[in-house]
Amino acid sequence: MPMSPPSPSSPPSPPHEQSGARSPAADGSEINMAKGARLFRTRCGLCHTVTPGCNKSGPSLWQGYAYTPAMKSSKVLWSEDTMAEFLRSPKRYIPGNKMVFQGFQRDSDIRDVVAYVKAESERKKLF
Ligand code: HEC
């Protein structure tokens, strides 16, 4: 009896996907809002809130804040596209800004966080 090939019925799940992420296609094409919320909490939440007027060391993403001249003069209109570019590499997108975040490597991370921020801002009708 030759060796039978391993059954394809149960592919190993990627190590970075733990409980809390509900979508099975976390690295596929589906937006994963739970993951976006978790990423925002863990990667952005140190410095940002999604609460209007509540500035930490970074601005509440919805209110006035003492931006660096680099940030002010960038005149970026935030949209899903510009925020995605910014989050890929904040330093390269707006040189001289003071946001200490090295940028996301994975497209799916960017997409999920941007989707979360957008959903929050629409829910609060502040954009
Ligand atoms: C270490 C603190 C820190 C972290 C972590 C951080 N930010 Fe920031 N962020 C800042 C600061 C400070 C600024 C203002 C930069 C300036 O004025 O030069 C900023 C600016 C921004 C802006 C521009 C806001 C505006 O109104 O123009 C966006 C959007 C933003 N951050 C999103 C994010 C997201 C999303 C994450 C998580 C992936 C994140 N940031 C992580 C500190 C941080």
What is the structure's pLDDT at 25?
A: 45
Q: What separation in Å is there between the alpha carbon of 47 and the centre of ligand 1?
A: 7
Please give the model's pTM, rounded to 2 decimal places: 0.70
**Is residue 89 left, alpha or beta, with left meaning phi > 0 and alpha meaning psi from -120 to 50?**
beta
Structural domain for 64, as ranges: 33-123
CATH number at residue 72: 1.10.760.10
Does the residue 21 lie in any domain? no
Measured by CA distance, the residue closest to atom 37 of ligand 1 is 44
Q: Output the average pLDDT for the chain.
A: 72
Cα 72 to the chain's mean position, in Å? Answer: 22
The pLDDT of residue 13 is above 50: no
pLDDT digits (tens, 9 = 90+) for 1-10: 555 555 444 4
Lowest average pLDDT, out of 21-25, 32-36, 48-52, 74-78, goes to 21-25
Does the residue 15 lie in any domain? no
Cα 25 to the chain's mean position, in Å? Answer: 17
**Three-class secondary structure of residue 107 per DSSP:** helix
Give how many domains the chain has, as a whole number. Answer: 1
Cα gap 43→75, rounded to integer Å: 24
Does the residue 28 lie in any domain? no
Mutate to test the pocket of ligand 1, among 35, 47, 83 (most ligand atoms within 8 A of CB): 47
Total Cβ atoms within 10 A of residue 119: 15
Q: Could you tell me where the beta strands, DSSP code E, fall in the chain? A: none
Q: What separation in Å is there between the alpha carbon of 29 and the centre of ligand 1?
A: 26
The pLDDT of residue 15 is above 50: no
Cα 70 to the chain's mean position, in Å? Answer: 22
Does the residue 3 lie in any domain? no
Q: What separation in Å is there between the alpha carbon of 44 and the centre of ligand 1?
A: 7
Mean of pLDDT values over 19-36: 63
Residues whose beta carbon lies within 6 Å of some atom of ligand 1: 43-44, 46-48, 57-59, 61, 67-68, 70-71, 78, 83, 87, 97-101, 113, 117
43, two tokens? 């990667």
Does the residue 79 lie in any domain? yes
Does the residue 20 lie in any domain? no
Does the residue 69 lie in any domain? yes
Does the residue 55 lie in any domain? yes
The pLDDT of residue 11 is above 90: no
Measured by CA distance, the residue closest to atom 30 of ligand 1 is 61
DSSP class of residue 20 equals T
Q: Please name the residues in contact with 121: beta carbons below 8 A apart, sequence gap of 6 or more.
A: 50, 61, 62, 127
The pLDDT of residue 33 is above 60: yes
pLDDT digits (tens, 9 = 90+) for 51-82: 666 666 666 665 445 567 777 777 777 778 88
